[in-house]
Amino acid sequence: MINNQVIIDLQLACKNLHGLPNRKMFQAWASAIFAVYKKKIELTVRIVDIKEMHYLNWYYLKKDCPTNVLSFPFTPPLGMKSPLLGDIVLCRQVIEYESKKKNVPDRSHWAHMIIHGSLHLLGYNHIRDEEAMLMQRVERNILQQCGYRMCCHVTHR
């Protein structure tokens, strides 16, 4: 039996690095998410400033505003196997703003965003109410495993 191994390529593409979660935190959150998988998993976690997130949200989703998290699943070419699930892009300023506005601890909200983005990589969605309720239930369970409470519902602008 192969042990679960989660490899994170952490990209810090924001100007201010002070107060960001450290690599060990991202690793712990990702390991909790993918604990049921008995294979090697790789993902990229990129933390960006508001300008880059605004551009990505506009370019890929045609939404003219920044958002908290975007997920980009990776599908390998036919016949090729890859442990890479995809990329999660997090906007530092939006996440910090939401934490303050909703009066939740920063770490709890960062964990929630990683969990939320990872679930999108696994195919979860929140377009329909039933999908949203299932995704929130899974998020809540993983957050509790990590020692956090559900901090807020994720809304994408």
The pLDDT, as a whole number, for residue 72 is 97
3-state percent helix, strand, coil for the chain, nearest multiple of 5: 40, 20, 40
- Rg over alpha carbons for the chain, rounded to the nearest Å, is 15
Strands (E), the chain: 5-13, 40-48, 69-73, 84-91
Least confident of 102-106, 108-112, 117-121, 145-149: 145-149
Pick 5-145's CATH classification: 3.30.479.30, 3.40.190.10, 3.30.70.580, 3.40.390.30: 3.40.390.30
DSSP structure class, residue 24: H
The pLDDT, as a whole number, for residue 100 is 93
Percentage of residues in the chain having pLDDT higher than 70:
91
Least confident of 7-21, 92-106, 131-145: 131-145
Global pTM value = 0.87
The pLDDT, as a whole number, for residue 87 is 97
- Is the pLDDT score of 109 beyond 50? yes
64-86 pLDDT, tens digit per residue, is 999 999 999 999 889 998 899 99
Sequence spans of domains, the chain = 5-145
Which three-class secondary structure state does DSSP give residue 58?
helix
The pLDDT, as a whole number, for residue 4 is 61
Tokens of residue 82, six digits:
């890859």
The type of residue at 16 is: N
Question: Would you place residue 130 in the very low, low, confident or very high pLDDT band (cuts 50, 70, 90)?
Answer: confident
Who wins on pLDDT, 36 or 24?
A: 24
Question: Would you place residue 153 in the very low, low, confident or very high pLDDT band (cuts 50, 70, 90)?
Answer: low
Distance in angstroms (rounded) separating the CA atoms of residues 143 and 19: 20
- Is the pLDDT score of 157 beyond 50? no
The pLDDT, as a whole number, for residue 1 is 33
